[in-house]
Amino acid sequence: MSYAVTPFEVISKVLAGPVQVRFIHLASGIATRHSDTIDATFFAGGQQVVVAIPCATLTTLREHEHKNLTDQQLAEIAATHLRTTLEHGYDPNLAELRMTDGELRALALHLGFLR
């Protein structure tokens, strides 16, 4: 399945020059890394970076708040999180970027996916 996340460029406080970012795919971190996450994989500055989205938050949203996020929305949330984190100084040579419950909810609200 393909998700539409437009490639983008970010100016990082840590790295010299602009960083080219391209979305690769979403996958279950449970199966691939034994992590309770949905992994959004990107290439950022030539390095593979995984944005780990917590399954526990997605379960709470679905079961207790009756709100579902689509795969497309998760890809967009992960891309926004990576962009913001790069702008504030994250080094993409670190292979994993874990989102917190609060970060996921704040970005979903900001992007209009939750009300």
pLDDT tens figures, 17-66: 898 999 999 988 887 777 799 999 999 888 899 999 999 999 999 999 89
Q: How far apart are the first and last CA of the chain?
A: 27
- pTM of the shown model: 0.90
Nearest Cα to 3, choosing from 49, 55, 72, 81?
A: 72
pLDDT tens figures, 71-92: 999 999 999 999 999 998 876 6
Query: What's the one-letter identity of residue 77?
Result: I
